[in-house]
Amino acid sequence: MTKRKAIATVSIALMLGVVAALSLLHTRETDVFLDLMAPYRDSEKVFVSRPSTCYAEGPIDGVPNALLDSFLAANGPDAEPISLFRLRWHFLTAEARLLDRYPSAADRALASLPGDASTIDFSRVGFNANRTEALFCVDDRALLYAKRVDGRWGIFSVPLAYD
């Protein structure tokens, strides 16, 4: 009986390790946004994905070069926006393609929302190799460096910001 319990314990530990490893490997861009946008759950802001490099170039103090390269590649000239549809249960989201294709309808839709409704654009996310660090741009005005600690994403620094 003791040997069975030991085997069961080891099996469970191995399964949990595999699940943890797979969860890190399958981190999605929307996972980063979901954690970092939590304070804005009740806002009238509409979140949109639009590729942007935030005018970042060359080495940036405090940002690993490989992470910056991943970010710049994710937001290259041929980059497509991602769907924020997965966030729709928590936040107001819109698809960039529809906003761009029907600008007058988008303006009317924003005007119909209560309060100060406006869009906030998120770039594509660049990840480090083990997907525990992320870099992305907000509204072409701030480059955010985030880290995943204890399974949650949090802002580590703001290496670039424009007024």
Q: Of 44, 35, 63, which is closest to residue 118 (Cα–Cα)?
A: 44
| 19 assigned to some structural domain | no
Give the pairing of strands 92-93 and 46-49.
parallel
| 38 assigned to some structural domain | yes
Number of domains forming the structure of the chain:
1
pLDDT at 14 over 70: no
| 6 assigned to some structural domain | no
pLDDT at 137 over 70: yes
pTM: 0.75
Q: What is the pLDDT of residues 65-124, one digit of tens each?
A: 999 999 999 999 999 988 887 777 777 787 887 778 777 877 777 677 666 667 788 999
Q: Range of 154's domain? A: 28-161
Q: What is the pLDDT of residues 16-75, one digit of tens each?
A: 444 443 343 446 888 888 888 877 777 777 888 889 998 887 788 889 999 999 999 999
* Non-local CB neighbours of 55 within 8 Å, separated by 6+ positions: 140, 160, 162
| 23 assigned to some structural domain | no
Reduce the DSSP state of residue 113 to 3 states and report it: coil
pLDDT at residue 91, rounded to an integer? 79
| 3 assigned to some structural domain | no
| 113 assigned to some structural domain | yes
| 137 assigned to some structural domain | yes
pLDDT at residue 1, rounded to an integer? 55
Beta bridge partners of 52: none
Q: What is the pLDDT of residues 148-162, one digit of tens each?
A: 999 899 998 888 777
Give rounded-to-5 percent helix, strand, coil for the chain. 40, 20, 40
| 5 assigned to some structural domain | no
